[in-house]
Chains A and B, each alone.
Chain A
Amino acid sequence: MTEQYIELHAASAFTFLQAASDPEDLIERAAELEMPAMALLDHNGVYGSARFHTSAQRNKIRAHIGAEVSVTSFGSRLTPPAWLPHQYSQSPARLPLLCASREGYQNLCQLITQFKMRESTKGDGAANIADLNQYARGLICLTGGDDGPLAAALVRGGEAAGRETVERLVQLFGKENVYVELQRHQEREEEWRNQAALRIARTLNLPIVATNGVRYATAYDREVHDLFTAIRNHVELDHAGRLLSLNGQRHLRSAREMAALFRDIPDALSNTLELSSRLKFELSDLGYEFPRYPVPDGKTMESFLRKRVAEGVQRRYGSRNRDLLERAKKQVERELVLIAKLGFEGYFLIVWDIIQFCKQNDILVQGRGSAANSAVCYSLEITAVDPVGMDLLFERFLSESRNEWPDIDLDLPSEDKREQAIQYVYRRYGELGAAMTANVITYRGKSAAREVGKALGFDEDTLGRLSSLVGQWEWRGSTDTMAHSFQHAGFDTRHPRIAKYLELSMRIQKLPRHLGQHSGGMVICQGQLNHVVPLERASMPGRTVVQWDKEDCADLGIIKVDLLGLGMMAVLKDCLELIPQHYGDRADLAQLPEDEEVYRTLQKADTVGMFQVESRAQMASLPRNYPKRFYDLVVQVAIIRPGPIVGQMMHPYMRRRQNKEAVTYPHPSLKPVLERTLGVPLFQEQLLRIAMTVANFTGAEADELRRAVGMRRSWERMKNLEGKLRAGMAANGIDAATQDTIVQNISSFALYGFPESHAASFALLAYASAYFKVKYLAAFTAAILNNQPMGFYAPAVLVKDAQRHGLRVKPIDIQISDWQCAVEHEPDGSLSVRLGLGYVKGLSRSNSEAITAERIKNGPFRFAEDLALRVPSLSRRELTKLAQIGALNQLDGIRHRRDALWQIERAGKPEGPLLQQHSEWLRNADEVPPLAQMNVEERLVADYAGTGLTVGKHPMFYRRAELRRQNILSAVELHLYKHGQFVRAAGCIIARQRPGTAKGFIFMSMEDETGIANVIVTPDLYERDRLVVTRSKFLLVEGPLQNQDNVIHIKATRLTALSDAALELKSHDFH
């Protein structure tokens, strides 16, 4: 007879740092061992269960779900005896529980939630007997391995105590739901416990079951397990001693191996099959109920939604042309029918409710993503793009066949406002009704290298050096391996210990380390989220988090709303406040006029600071695309993406746009679909329409096709759909060659495609940011400086750009500046921006506010001592910083920055309480400042060191004469040269990028006082001059000029670092 065995006690790496394999790896190994089912019992949670379940389904294995729950009432977990030296700390015994039914699963979730929420902070927590009593139904309990209650009792009080513990479990779970567990890891101590357990099982007449207490998939992974043990206990492997496992036998074992181990107790094996057959619950049977929205008496959710939508249609379309209104009504009706059919009214109402809250509380909010395809969403003011007017495709958002929730993402201004909205959702749906989705923090290059290094006993300095070198570019060449980073950090990878270090660092990549919370994903349930998934406290006070991440929730069909923070929303919000205040104009995002000047600016790619169109690649393509109307901007936002670039859509589109290539269509029938993108498919919606047009797919089928292409693993499904697609096309008389083109278009594109609706939502924000920047530069600059970090460029670049556009930016002044940057009115009627104290590096917000409060209360500060005396919380370091950047120059008796530094050095050391009242006496007003004034270069260094930017002249300005003598050009002068001419230019590097699509080329933006120049670095040059490329702040670039369609680049053939006079300029490096 072939042996059969099912592993019923395995933990994945989601038992954080106590087990070493991903759930998928466990399943794959189980599949190799032909195990028909397997159970996952992670510690105090079901963190890995969603991934375990999904992967098991793929491999046709039954996934049993359970957890190993800490229980305080069963004493402490087994530790080595006191006479042996060891470093174990006490922790409660762990009870393995398996879910037999949905009720069992719900009870397990509630049980875990109950004790997790009892903790006031994020922590392990432990259940007690009362909890178990309350939630025991539907759960089957094992007596556990060496972490379990039986082992603990046997060692503590011998067989009598062991029997008592098992009897207690029988009382709690019922006789038929307790299995005495046997594990054999070929350890001596374990075997006597097994023999005792066997006798107890016999006397109590309980079934026995064999498990292997699995901690990793294969025996080799024991190393990772030991490594994790060391990391978890903050010890080096060399000193971990008995904390480490005695041997490497806790891997997933085949039925044959298990049969050999349990030859003397065959029942133990056959019982695993029997027990597995009793476990009816699987995660697909979650019993999740989507939330209902509380409607007024006498209304149903459907009627309530219809009413709200009808009002919205009138509001949105009523004043516009009649035809559009009719079309909108028709579309809305079609959508409402589908929504009702799928039962999603509650979801739409919940999102509508959040929007209402935001509107009432003055929070700018806008939906993005595929929701913008829906006229219902537009009517409910969830989105701002009119899908009817823009002829967007609803099926991309919602289709009947798709077994998942519609996805609505809301963009909110970051920080406070977003938190307000999140807290509102918590309040509205209760502590057990809403929670954040989790974010699994996994080991990455740097964290892996650091923690493995610590465990292997490397010192801090070395580790710091290494982690600063682990490459983080998006594109990785053959030399960008971890091994290379190790060599660059000065490690000898031939040394066995270093080789092991490198190997382990690579092996733990992507294994979970701990659980964080997702920045904005919220799941909402009808007050009973804890029936679906356990909830626990997040480290942030007032937040709860579910044990699954966003993808897991989506896989299991749990509804979620993403409340995302978007810096640009905050900028726009600030602009909307500043514009009426300082310009007297009323600005309304929904009604920004189409403006010639704005489009001209976009056409020139003069877009620093503008949402989505400011990146180097966007700037390089804007003059080619030459946007003249809003839809061009929609295309612009979507086209500089990996999808269109990899799918080779970008260049054909641009050529057609410039009339360099004729507009053609793969098939005449596709003209209406592809006309607006000049015959080049760019959007996911077009893909759907193509399938619908050429192969007569329904909207739902077309969406299934998109999703099948999107999921790399579903080749089989893709093949079926492709067959269907080709059959459809053949039926429509499309020849084989055209069919191939169309299939190629679909498959190359769908992988990375971008929804048109999403592009439209972003284009709206892009246009608004461009409009504000062009029309209200002072307000826009103040707003964007107040919402850093965001976008592509550092504040220094934003300030220089604003100055080039004629804005006066004024330095920080202790007598005027607040925390925020502010718009000021100049005597000549123009507007300027005053930098805020927030830009002083190292000045705390509370102290900045203390300065402002004191200034408002008692008037301007008189002299340095006055400031130190009136704002005593200011430290010497903070005063120095203020003096260094010239913020104290307006105080009496201060002649220049060095004078301020000299004075505050004394003011920072008060005389003591007695003399303090009369510190004015001690001030020697006539004292000649002994320090020389800073020179220009020193002032620049101080500005950059103290604020990260300068409002004075650009550093390159001071070198211009010298550069000119050497025939080195400025950014603006490059425009005078022809394509192919050899040029030399120099500047300050403000951005470096190595895009995944550019085959290792690096693009750099280089700024000087006249503007920004672009530099292309070939992979060869990068290899030769790695340090110059990545580290230098000021560069001299030599090479031929590329001028294509007014897009100018220097293709560097030689790079030289210019001495940077200790300027700490920051570039944004994009990875």
Chain B
Amino acid sequence: MKEHYACVCIKEFPAQSMLRLRPELRNCACVVMKGDPPLEQVCSLNRKARLLGLVPGMTKVEVETFEQITMLKRTAAEEAAAGEALLACAGGFSPRVEECSVNGMFLCVIDVAGTEKLFGPAEVLAHKLLSELQRLGFIACIAVSSQFHAAIIAARGLLANNPVTVIPAGMEKETLAALPLSVLDLTPDQAETFSLWGIRTLGALADLPLKGLIARLGQAGKCMHELAHGTRSHLFQSVEPAFSLSEHMEFDSPIEMLDALLFVVNTMLEQLILRATARVFALASVTITLKLEGGTTHVRTVRPALPSIDRLLWLKLLHLDLDAHTPQAAILAATVTAEPGSTSKVQLGLFSPQLPEPSRLDVTLARISAIVGEENAGCAVLNDTHAPDAFRIEPFQVLSTHSKAVPSVTVRPATRLIRPAENMSVTIQDSKPESFFFRDRKYTVERAYGPWLSSGDWWNPSLWGYEQWDLVAYTQAGAMLCCSAVRDILRNDWQMAALYD
């Protein structure tokens, strides 16, 4: 069958993908900013903004010098959703769609061969497609050609005021001839070479002798020559539905018991594992999304150290997790999605010591996490900072090598750190603590050592500063207390940090 392709080109895709859901802004000058404050930059903009003189790369402050500009923040999710919507729309015209977007421009090519009976001739099809896209809120350009690349190049070269072109078969070279070289994705080197040669249009490129071009630019030269002639062949790679592991179930009546839920989840897991194993995958993580009464959702994810296809293990882990985080209302529907991971195989040596099974350790860890909270289970690692108590919890890791450095053991006085530090009230005399109340008792300070000062992060809003005192104090009854009191300099409050034996 004769080949026939329609290419959809959406320029300024980040801006368009945001404006499609915000029709009220379409008549305003809008820019889309990327980057984190304070270093945001314009990455895409609409026509109105361009006419005002805005260009990509401007910073927020530069944009603010213009009046009545709407700044939007770029979101990958909205772009992805827009992309999906576009592909879905394209899919309505043919099941064979190939996406070939380039930086900031959405491009997809639809194989429309044999659709004449359904949609009419190419011109009609293109307009139908265009109006479909307009309904979705996009300003698009569409080129139809019997040549895949010619369709893309022509679509890229089109302007919004003349958004549709149909290239007659065999006229590709002539149609493309007037287009500038910028419609090809040239490397900076190639662009420089062509500019030196005075080659500015595809027509001029097409007129160069092929042999001479290949001798100078190699296969890339041949490729560009063919593109300019509209003769470059292409192997169509249509978008396949992504492989996803997901099961969804709506319940006839709301479920309140966890056991009942797990019964259903068991079946869903079985299905997922079956699908995963068919592709020689295991499950790396499982996410359960519960739709609850009242419109809320409850999402939990379980991720053991190694991917697994052990259904009972998964069930146990989910059970423990849901036990620790029970949903707050009755469950209306459940979705279980899983991430595929490679199947784990452990080669055990005949003489190597028997280790506990990793899955059992996972279960144990999950039990601990369920009790103490995930943020409190793992391995404590000190941070490189002077700030007090600065540490983070990292997941347990199996180290490939063991550190040979043996930490030096020095005898230190025994200290009981108070976690969390307790508030105390302190009376000061001559800039030193004189007496304090701690746990409802008054102590008189006999000796005070300090203050030990520390401060840091002065360049951040999170700046901190503490003074620490080592105190020897007595109650009226004569009971002695050796302790470490800390004053937060910024807030001027005192806390008992530690007691010395």
Contacts and interface: CB of A to CB of B under 8 A. Distances in A.
Contacts of B212: 902, 906, 927, 930
B61 A497 contact: no
Contacts of B216: 902, 905-906, 909
A586 to B, nearest CB: 48
Interface stretch (A400-408, A487-495, A755-763, A960-968): A487-495
B95 interface: no
Contacts of A84: 382, 384
Contact of A938 (B193, B198, B382, B386): B198
Interface stretch (B10-18, B304-312, B447-455): B447-455
A496 interface: yes
B263 interface: no
Interface stretch (A66-74, A168-176, A243-251, A387-395): A243-251
Interface stretch (B117-125, B342-350, B456-464): B456-464
B455 A248 contact: yes
Interface string B34-66: 000111000000000000000000111110000
A215 to B, nearest CB: 15
Contacts of A246: 386, 453-456
A283 to B, nearest CB: 36
A241 B384 contact: yes
Interface string B464-488: 0100100000000000000000000
Nearest to B193: A905
Nearest to A84: B382
Interface stretch (A47-55, A290-298, A456-464, A576-584): A456-464
Contact of A492 (B60, B383, B405, B455): B60
Interface string A885-915: 0000000000000100110011001000000
Contacts of A85: 381-384
Interface in B342-392: 381-386
B96 to A, nearest CB: 39
B331 to A, nearest CB: 44
A589 B455 CA distance: 69
Given A82-B407, A497-B38, A223 B452 contact: no
B377 to A, nearest CB: 21
Nearest to A458: B39
A487 B62 CA distance: 8
Contact of B198 (A81, A498, A880, A898): A898
Interface in B228-281: none
A496 B461 contact: yes
B198 A931 contact: yes
A747 B207 CA distance: 77
A490 B60 contact: yes
Interface string B196-227: 11110000000111001001110000000000
A186 B37 contact: no
Contact of B450 (A186, A222, A242, A901): A186
Nearest to B405: A82
Contacts, number: 107
A931 B157 CA distance: 24
B199 to A, nearest CB: 8
Contacts of A244: 386, 456
A226 interface: yes
A906 B208 CA distance: 14
B208 to A, nearest CB: 5
A81 B39 CA distance: 38
A930 B209 contact: yes
A498 B38 contact: yes
B383 A241 contact: yes
B384 A223 contact: no
B103 interface: no
B38 A492 contact: yes
B408 interface: yes
Given A492-B60, A909-B215, A930-B207, A247 B384 contact: no
A495 B198 contact: no
B197 A901 contact: yes
Contacts of A719: none
B197 A462 contact: no
B115 to A, nearest CB: 41
Interface in B177-194: 193
A497 B198 contact: no
Nearest to A490: B59
Nearest to B208: A930
B346 to A, nearest CB: 32
A187 B408 CA distance: 21
A976 interface: no
A487 B61 contact: yes
Nearest to B207: A930
A901 B196 contact: yes
B192 to A, nearest CB: 9
A86 interface: yes
A488 to B, nearest CB: 9
A222 B459 CA distance: 12
A182 to B, nearest CB: 16
A58 interface: no
Nearest to A938: B198
Contacts of B456: 244, 246
Closest 7 CB pairs of A and B: A490-B59, A241-B384, A905-B216, A85-B384, A247-B453, A186-B453, A495-B38
Given A241-B386, A490-B58, 17 more contacts: A187-B452, A238-B460, A242-B385, A247-B453, A247-B455, A487-B61, A489-B59, A490-B61, A880-B196, A898-B197, A898-B198, A901-B197, A906-B215, A927-B209, A930-B209, A931-B198, A931-B199
27 contacts: A81-B408, A83-B407, A84-B384, A186-B450, A187-B452, A188-B468, A226-B458, A244-B456, A246-B453, A246-B454, A247-B453, A249-B453, A456-B459, A489-B59, A490-B61, A491-B38, A491-B59, A497-B38, A500-B459, A898-B197, A901-B197, A902-B212, A909-B216, A930-B207, A930-B208, A930-B209, A931-B197
Interface of B: 37-39, 58-62, 193, 196-199, 207-209, 212, 215-217, 381-386, 405, 407-408, 450-456, 458-461, 465, 468
